[in-house]
């Protein structure tokens, strides 16, 4: 019998490499000026430490084998010969280590001296890349010693008793991970108006490494971040930057040893600056997501063509790569709520932007249509509450009375006194025109007219029973909008659209303008909390808003049970926290179900691990095991891909709010209404174990 730990060590699902992750690291090793033997040993010490951390790619600083500040020492023959010997030693000593090493050193080729990055994998020197741009301004004098490598293509080099490719036209391809393709540039190359890595990424590289000996002055660290973040976002790549640190000569310079890893504009890891001891910054880069982003960005395709298809000019160098097997964990920031930031300042920024996107969209629609009223169905739940907040802010900004908002609470067979009371308190707190229409008589008449058993007193609470109520509510709202010369504000959110959790046509599926259509349920909760925290409204209003946030999500279409239990939405469709997680990774990145499950398992299996969004209630911090994740992901796939697209193909206008995407057929998402979910369901069932334990 295998234990759970034994299974996670052996089943492919639990291995990060299975899902296209590459563990990359920056290293700032000990260094001693011009002491090649010392530096060689320091490089190997860091390589062994990275091996123990299951690193796949280890990027060192520029000229780390010799140190950077050498001046004319770099042109000494004995010194350069020692470089060859040390490279041979490193290659041999690293034969059984997992990391691919990218080391900086000076090398001679065709009678010229180059500042190079040398790639060593599985005990062999795979290739060397020369620096393209040599700084020769202010404190820099590299053109005194080195030749630039901008035009070195198709060349070979002899060094350390080996022959290997040499040039700026190299893409290094992992033998183990298909989407792991490496391009290398050196220090100043990143600061150039046309960094070589632009052509490298257009040639197919997913990871760009930069070996740097950038000296530090005030403000320079921020600029390095700016350049790397921008570059990784613009070219959809991972950018791995490693700068020289303590131990370099301080004749006229100082060094901070900055290392960081960006992925498509997001900082994954950063080393400690000015550290006295060797530093490793480690993160798992998602090469599959990078490729997924590129295939969705057709401007990237255009850029490839505009650049003359760089892949045709590059050489692919195979890298023998033996990554660690089994469950090595996952080292990267991973949000439980991908639509909701974990950091306080970012949460406030996103809530401010999201809220104002909705307000601005509705204001523009009001300016265009000049309504005399805004009609909203107020249930006392999250979505209608947030729609009312948006509408109220629109009226305030346009100088219109809130009384033009006509709120209607429409109790049905499952409405509780609690939500009905909240609805009335909410409408009164916002000072809108508030009315109540009891839909039960009309619903009973319709059920009787269609011959439904409930009309004869039988407790039949089927889909028809629910849809009659949902449809009547929307029918009333449309007729009221016509009567009062206004339009209906839709309340349904992005999560409900993904799950098809709405009544089609004349139901909550339809409105004149859907302000929440681009906002997932998990973000709506935070938007309301933000409205409370930022004191947008009065204290009394905030109390009502808090009570609504604390209420269980329910459509309240089925009468309360004998045990007092209220109909639970999440009991039917699954936790919105998981559904929004699934939606983000499938809609935004096109990830396979097995990878989505892997990410969800790492994000949600331990409530005590990782970050939670600020102000998230302690008592709501839950966790989900793999069987639960697998169960609800299967339900999500069936709903999203097979049964509900026809609803999304016919939705009203509404603003896109999140970069994670929207589901409007006029926006991010287009799909046939008659597709089947077979491919996704089979992939899930084939590659995700039903449990972490085998009995």
- Contact call for residues 524 and 382 (beta carbons, < 8 A): yes
Task: Please identify which of the residues 64, 142, 185, 187 carries the catalytic annotation.
Answer: 187
CB atoms within 10 A of CB 357: 18
Tell me the pairing of strands 266-270 and 259-263.
antiparallel
What gap in Å lies between CA 499 and CA 404, rounded to an integer? Answer: 33
Candidates 46, 62, 188, 634; catalytic one: 62
Query: Long-range contacts for 141-146 (Cβ within 8 Å, ≥24 apart)?
Result: 142/115, 142/188, 145/71, 145/72, 145/74, 145/75, 145/106, 145/113, 146/106, 146/113, 146/114, 146/115
Contact 645, 613 (CB under 8 A): no
Helix axes 382-398, 344-369, angle to 10 degrees: 70
Q: What is each CA distance from 58 to 41, 65, 146, 466, in whole angstroms?
A: 15, 14, 25, 58
Q: Report which secondary-structure segment, H or E, holds 207.
A: strand 207-212
CA distance 129 to 110: 14
The CA distance from 115 to 107, in Å, is 7
**Phi–psi pair at 22, nearest 5 degrees:** -125, 125
- Closest C-alpha among 406, 364, 351, 379 to residue 536: 351
Report how far residue 589's alpha carbon sits from residue 457's, in angstroms, rounded to the nearest whole number. 50
Identify each DSSP E strand in 224-331 by its residue range: 238-243, 259-263, 266-270, 279-286, 315-319
* Binding annotation: 137, 214, 220, 377-384, 467, 491, 496, 501-504, 647
143 classed as catalytic: no
Q: Which runs of E-coded beta strand occur in 21-110? A: 21-28, 57-59, 100-109
Tell me the backbone φ, ψ of residue 524, rounded to 5 degrees. Answer: -60, -40
Q: Determine the Cα–Cα distance for residues 118 and 126; give it in Å rounded to an integer.
A: 8
Q: If you count DSSP H runs as helices and E runs as strands, how many of each does the chain have, helices first?
A: 22, 20
- Binding-site positions for ATP read 377-384, 491
Active site residue 62: yes
What is the distance of C-alpha 446 from the center of its chain?
47
Residue ranges of the annotated binding site for L-glutamine are: 137, 214, 220
Which position among 46, 64, 116, 131 bears the catalytic label? Answer: 131
Question: Do residues 292 and 590 make contact, with C-beta atoms less than 8 angstroms apart?
Answer: yes
User: Helix (H, G, I), strand (E, B), or coil: what is residue 676?
Assistant: coil
Percent helix / strand / coil, the chain, rounded to 5: 40, 15, 40
What is the rounded distance in angstroms from the CA atom of residue 362 to the CA atom of residue 359? Answer: 5
Q: Cα dist. 128→83, 165, 626 in Å?
A: 14, 6, 44
Q: Which of 432, 487, 475 is nearest to 654 (CA)?
A: 487
**Cβ within 8 Å of residue 313, ≥6 positions away:** 153, 169, 203
How far is it between the farthest Cα atoms of the chain? 101
The catalytic residues are 62, 131, 187
């Amino acid at each position: 019998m295998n234990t759970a730990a034994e299974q996670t060590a052996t089943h492919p699902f639990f291995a990060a490499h299975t899902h296209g992750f590459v563990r990359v690291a920056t290293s700032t090793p000990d260094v001693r000026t011009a002491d090649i033997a010392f530096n060689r040993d320091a490089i190997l010490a860091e390589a062994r430490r990275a091996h123990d951390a299951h690193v796949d790619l280890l990027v060192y600083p520029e000229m780390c084998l010799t140190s950077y500040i050498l001046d004319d020492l770099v042109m000494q023959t004995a010194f350069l010969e020692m470089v060859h010997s040390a490279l041979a030693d490193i290659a041999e000593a690293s034969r059984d280590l997992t990391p691919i090493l990218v080391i900086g050193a000076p090398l001679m080729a065709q009678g010229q001296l180059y500042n190079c990055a040398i790639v060593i994998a599985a005990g062999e020197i795979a290739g060397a890349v020369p620096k393209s741009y040599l700084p020769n301004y202010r404190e820099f004098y590299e053109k005194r010693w080195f030749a630039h490598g901008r035009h070195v293509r198709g060349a070979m080099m002899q060094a350390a008793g080996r022959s290997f490719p040499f040039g700026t036209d190299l893409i290094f391809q992992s033998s183990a991970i298909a989407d792991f393709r490496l391009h290398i540039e050196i220090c100043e190359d990143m600061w150039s108006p046309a960094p070589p890595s632009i052509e490298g990424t257009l040639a197919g590289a997913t990871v760009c490494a930069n070996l740097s000996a950038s000296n530090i002055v005030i403000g320079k660290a921020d600029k390095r971040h700016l350049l790397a973040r921008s570059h990784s976002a613009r070219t959809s790549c991972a950018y791995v930057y490693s700068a020289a640190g303590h131990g370099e000569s301080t004749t006229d310079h100082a060094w901070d040893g900055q290392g960081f890893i960006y992925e498509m504009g997001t900082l994954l890891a950063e080393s400690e600056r000015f550290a006295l001891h060797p530093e490793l910054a480690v993160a798992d880069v998602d090469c599959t997501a990078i490729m997924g982003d590129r295939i969705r960005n057709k401007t990237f395709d255009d850029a490839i063509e505009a650049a003359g298809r760089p892949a045709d000019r590059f050489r692919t160098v195979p890298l023998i790569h033996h990554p660690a097997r089994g469950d090595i964990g996952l080292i990267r920031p991973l949000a439980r709520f991908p639509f909701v930031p974990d950091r306080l300042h970012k949460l406030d920024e996103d809530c401010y932007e999201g809220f104002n996107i909705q307000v601005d969209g509705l204001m523009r629609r009001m300016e265009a249509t000049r309504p005399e009223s805004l009609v909203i169905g107020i249930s006392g739940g999250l979505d209608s509450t947030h729609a009312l907040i948006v509408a109220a802010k629109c009226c305030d900004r346009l100088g219109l009375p809130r009384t033009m908002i006509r709120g209607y609470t429409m109790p049905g067979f499952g409405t509780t006194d609690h939500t009905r009371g909240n609805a009335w308190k909410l409408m009164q707190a916002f000072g809108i025109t508030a009315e109540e229409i009891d839909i039960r008589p009309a619903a009973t008449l319709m059920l009787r007219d269609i011959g439904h058993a409930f009309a004869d007193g039988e407790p039949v609470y089927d889909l028809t029973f629910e849809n009659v109520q949902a449809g009547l509510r929307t029918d009333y709202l449309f007729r009221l909008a016509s009567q009062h010369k206004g339009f209906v504000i839709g309340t349904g959110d992005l999560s409900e659209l993904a799950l098809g959790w709405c009544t089609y046509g004349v139901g909550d599926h339809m409105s004149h303008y859907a302000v929440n259509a681009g906002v997932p349920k998990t973000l709506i909760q935070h938007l309301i909390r933000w409205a409370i925290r930022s004191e947008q409204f009065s204290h009394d209003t905030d109390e009502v808003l808090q009570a609504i946030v604390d209420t269980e999500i329910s459509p309240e279409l089925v009468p309360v049970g004998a045990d007092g239990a209220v109909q639970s939405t999440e009991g039917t469709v699954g936790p919105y926290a998981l559904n929004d997680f699934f939606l983000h990774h499938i809609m935004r990145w096109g990830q396979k179900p097995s990878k989505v499950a892997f990410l969800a398992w790492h994000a949600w299996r331990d409530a005590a691990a990782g970050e939670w969004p600020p102000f998230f209630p302690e008592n709501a911090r839950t966790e989900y095991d793999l069987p639960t994740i697998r169960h609800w992901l299967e339900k999500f796939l069936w709903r999203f891909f097979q049964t509900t697209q026809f609803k999304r193909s016919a939705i009203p206008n509404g603003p896109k709010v999140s970069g994670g995407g929207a589901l409007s057929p006029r926006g991010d998402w287009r799909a046939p209404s008659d597709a089947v979910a077979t491919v996704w369901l089979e992939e899930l069932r084939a590659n995700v174990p039903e449990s972490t334990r085998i009995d």
